[in-house]
Amino acid sequence: MAAGVVTKLQTIVSREIDPDQFAVVTVGSIQAGHTENIISDRAEVRINVRTQNHEVRNRVLASIRRVVKGECEASGATKEPLIEETTKFPLSVNDPDVTKKVHKSFEAFFGDRFDPNTSCSTASEDYSILGSTQGKPCCFWFFGGTDETTWDDAEKKGRVVEDVPVNHSPFFAPVIQPTLGTGIDALCLAALTFLTNP
């Protein structure tokens, strides 16, 4: 039953979401039973959903509920599935005015090390709770943590995706410097952008 749910969940994005929209449905954990010769009476499936607008998010969540309930009914489950949200983060949307000011400060300080052309991210961040839920303007940015030689080698080989571990990889290990220094500089610069007189 759980395997059927997982398989069907993987069709939501491909069959129900407009290709021009962004959505990810990830089954990150499935736990059922403790040994190979006893059929478990329960399964826990943990799902991560990422979207870039509320309409798509609501559609995906409704589809997940429909798929889980439908598979349980089709498999003859003796009770309704329990579906509960364990984590939920609002969309991270950068305020244009704040972003423009931070951009100016970063560009002046970091020079050619500053790249303002970061593409839309698929990250789900609790950061957005700080600004979005309080109705305050906010700006979220990224800075690299990969050793320059590792990055350059991977880029030359066209293997950045394969050879540079990202933050949810078990191999993710950012170099301490200049990562830490860049992060501190960025936070201080952003704060000073708004705490100093114009």
Q: What is the pLDDT of residues 38-77, one digit of tens each?
A: 989 899 999 999 998 899 999 999 999 999 999 999 999 9
Provide the pLDDT for residue 138.
Answer: 87
Q: What does 121-155 look like in DSSP terms, one character per residue? A: P----THHHHHHTTT----------S-HHHHHHHH
- Residue that the structure tokens 């798509």 belong to: 56
Other beta carbons less than 10 A from residue 113's beta carbon: 12
Q: Cα separation of 60 and 99, whole Å?
A: 30
CB 63 within 8 A of CB 12: yes
Task: Give the model's pLDDT for residue 87.
Answer: 84
pLDDT at 146: 92
pLDDT value at position 100?
A: 95
Q: How many CA atoms lie within 13 A of 156 on its CB side?
A: 6
Residues of the chain scoring pLDDT < 70: 124, 197-198
Q: What is the pLDDT of residue 134?
A: 79
Question: Cα angle vertex 48, ends 8, 165, to 5°?
Answer: 110
pLDDT at 21: 93
b (16+ CB within 10 A) / e for 34-61 = eeeeeeeeeeebebebbbbeeebbebbb
> In the prediction, which pLDDT does 197 show?
64
Whole-number pLDDT of residue 198: 61
Question: What would the two tokens of residue 51 be?
Answer: 């979207």
What pLDDT sits at residue 130? 79
